[in-house]
Structure formats: structure tokens, C-alpha cells
């Protein structure tokens, strides 16, 4: 098993814009959920098809572009959140930052696969520059709030993937969506467990040890043959004959 990569993250929280938040946050087809997460009234469940102008060529291109848009916004959201986390010198703050970097890396992998898939279908992928995340109005910067923001976004993203999946017309595209969706539910539940204080990290999990193994792969099942990467097949089974 290899590490999923640790790209440095930078801060960018200048462009607060409530309208653009409602348009995208982390999601497609779940705008209402995202709005609710941020305290705004749900306004739309319309799928944001991104900027691709050729959505009519293949019926899946628009939906995949919408998912790609959401991934880019999630990547940017983690970048912005990292700026808050970097100011927290506590062990928990450092751990959360390390885990956030890993989750962001997963989203980068998802974006790359979606970009590849859209291109393969003859579409024009939307770009990172076109899809920046806007922090919710009233957001108060703190480590717990960054965790909550990410948790909300991951949950909404998982819902969106499930909703979009139903409308995809090819089995391989549904497979890709499902392989990503299950990764995002893992992000969601890990963050929720930490926020709720349901679990306590041990000495085996620190900012410099095993953060990349919290959610061990970017996909539930391997997407390698479709241009992606390894799935949970790459993980070994736990031994069930330990004597304790």
C-alpha cells in the first residue's frame, strides 16, 4: 500500500459569496443539502453541469462534469480549511491537518479520474480555476468548525454521488461514481466520529504516522483499468487468529 500523497495546501478565503456557495459547495444535485448544512434556505436541487459546452454529446458528460466541479470545490475547501488548521499547534490540530491533506489527496484523485473519463467520452472537463469554494456566511474559523465544515461537505457529496449515479447511462460510469461515493462516506464518518468524540486517537495515529491509512485508498474498488487507481482490494485482511 502506498501513501496517497501529501501536497502542501495554501490559504485562500478572500472570495466569500453566498450565491456561489449555494451553487456548488461540495456537490451536485444536493444543493439543498449543502445549503442546509450552512444554514441557508434550500433553493435548488438542480444539477450544476459545469462549464462544458458539449454536454449534449453524451448524456453522462454533464453529470460527470457536475461531479468534477464538486471535486474541485472540495479540493479548494480543504485548501482553505488547512489555513485554519495550520494555526493550531495542538496534537489534535496537527493530526486533523494531516488527515485533511490525505482526504484532499483523495479528492484530487477523484478529479483526475473524472477529468479523464469526461475527456474519453468526448467532453470538455471543467477546470479547477472555474470551481472555487466559498466559505459559508458566518463561518467562524476554528479547528472544530473546519472539521464540521468538511464533514458536512463530505456527507452532501456522498448523497450527491448517489443521486447522480442513478442518472448515469453506462455501467462503467456508475461504477466510477460508486467507487468514489464510498470513499466520501468514509471521509464523512471518520470526521463525524472525531467531532462527536466517539473515538480517541491512539499513539499509533499521529500527524506523522498513519494519517494516510485512516481512509486507506481513494476508491472502494480499483478503478485502475478505467484510468484511476487502487481500491480496497489492495488492503490486507486482518488476522482473526490473534491470541489475546
Partner 1 sequence: MIEKLNHLSRRDAVLTSAAGLGIAAVALTSGVARAQSADDSAVLKALIKAERNAIKTYEAGAGVIDAAPTTDGLNAYRGIVKAIALHFRAQHVDHEAKLVKYLTSQGGTDDVGAGTAQIPSGFVANIKNVVDLATNAERAAAIAYTDVQKSITKAENAELAAAIGSDETMHFVVLQLVARGFVVPAAATQGKTADELASAAAKFAARSFVVTIDGAPGLDDPTLAYYDVTQ
- For the segment 9-38, give every residue that binds partner 1 (CB under 8 A): 30, 33, 36-38
- Judged by CB under 8 A, the stretch of 4-12, 47-55, 72-80, 182-190 that binds partner 1 is 182-190
| H-assigned helices in 45-170 | 59-85, 91-120, 143-167
Is the distance from CB of 222 to CB of 229 less than 8 angstroms? yes
- Return the bridge partners of 209, or none: 206
Q: Are 30 and 159 in contact (CB under 8 A)?
A: yes
Q: For the purposes of burial, counting CB atoms within 10 Å of the CB of 164, is it exposed (0-12), middle (13-18) or buried (19 or more)?
A: buried
Stretch that binds partner 1, among 49-57, 70-78, 111-119, 213-221 (CB under 8 A): 213-221
* Residue from 57, 128, 195, 207 in contact with partner 1 (CB under 8 A): 195
Residues 36-65 that bind partner 1 (CB under 8 A): 36-39
| Dist CA 164 CA 180 (whole Å) | 12
Residue 123 grid coordinates: 467532453
Q: Which of 72, 78, 133, 161 binds partner 1 (CB under 8 A)?
A: 161
φ, ψ dihedrals at 209, nearest 5°:
-140, 115
x/- track of binding to partner 1 for residues 134-153 (CB under 8 A)? --x-xxx----x--xx-xx-
Rounded CA-CA distance 62/209 in Å is 40
Question: Nearest approach, Cβ of 188 to partner 1 (angstroms)?
Answer: 7
Binds partner 1 (CB under 8 A): choice among 182, 212, 218, 230: 182
Can you tell me which of 54, 128, 210, 227 binds partner 1, judged by CB under 8 A? 210
- Decide if residue 208 touches partner 1 (CB under 8 A): no
Q: d(Cα 230, Cα 84) in Å, to the nearest integer?
A: 31
Residue 188 makes contact with partner 1 by CB under 8 A: yes
Q: Compute the residue count for the chain.
A: 244
Of 41, 89, 90, 197, the one binding partner 1 by CB under 8 A: 197
CB nearer to partner 1: pick between 8 and 76: 76
Instruction: Tell me which stretch binds partner 1 (CB under 8 A): 61-69, 109-117, 121-129, 131-139.
Output: 131-139
Amino acid at each position: 500500500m502506498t501513501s496517497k500523497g501529501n501536497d502542501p495546501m495554501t490559504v485562500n478565503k478572500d472570495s466569500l459569496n453566498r450565491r456561489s456557495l449555494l451553487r456548488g459547495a461540495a456537490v451536485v444535485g444536493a444543493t439543498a443539502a449543502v445549503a442546509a448544512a450552512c444554514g441557508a434556505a434550500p433553493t435548488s436541487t438542480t444539477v450544476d453541469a459545469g462549464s462544458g459546452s458539449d454536454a449534449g454529446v453524451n448524456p453522462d458528460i454533464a453529470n460527470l462534469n457536475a461531479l468534477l466541479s464538486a471535486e474541485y470545490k472540495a479540493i479548494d475547501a480543504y485548501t482553505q480549511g488547512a489555513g485554519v488548521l495550520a494555526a493550531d499547534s495542538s496534537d489534535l490540530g496537527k493530526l486533523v491537518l494531516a488527515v485533511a491533506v490525505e482526504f484532499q489527496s483523495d479528492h484530487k484523485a477523484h478529479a483526475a479520474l473524472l477529468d479523464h473519463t469526461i475527456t474519453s467520452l468526448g467532453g470538455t472537463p471543467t477546470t479547477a480555476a472555474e470551481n472555487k469554494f466559498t466559505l459559508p456566511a458566518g463561518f467562524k474559523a476554528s479547528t472544530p468548525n473546519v472539521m464540521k465544515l468538511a464533514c458536512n461537505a463530505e456527507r452532501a457529496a456522498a448523497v450527491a454521488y448517489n443521486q447522480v449515479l442513478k442518472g448515469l447511462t453506462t455501467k462503467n460510469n456508475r461504477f466510477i461514481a460508486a467507487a468514489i461515493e464510498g470513499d466520501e462516506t468514509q471521509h464523512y464518518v471518520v470526521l463525524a466520529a472525531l467531532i462527536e468524540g466517539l473515538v480517541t486517537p491512539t499513539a499509533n495515529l499521529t500527524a506523522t504516522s498513519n494519517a494516510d491509512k485512516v481512509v486507506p485508498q481513494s476508491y472502494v474498488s480499483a478503478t485502475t483499468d478505467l484510468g484511476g487507481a487502487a481500491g480496497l482490494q489492495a488492503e490486507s485482511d486482518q488476522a482473526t487468529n490473534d491470541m489475546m
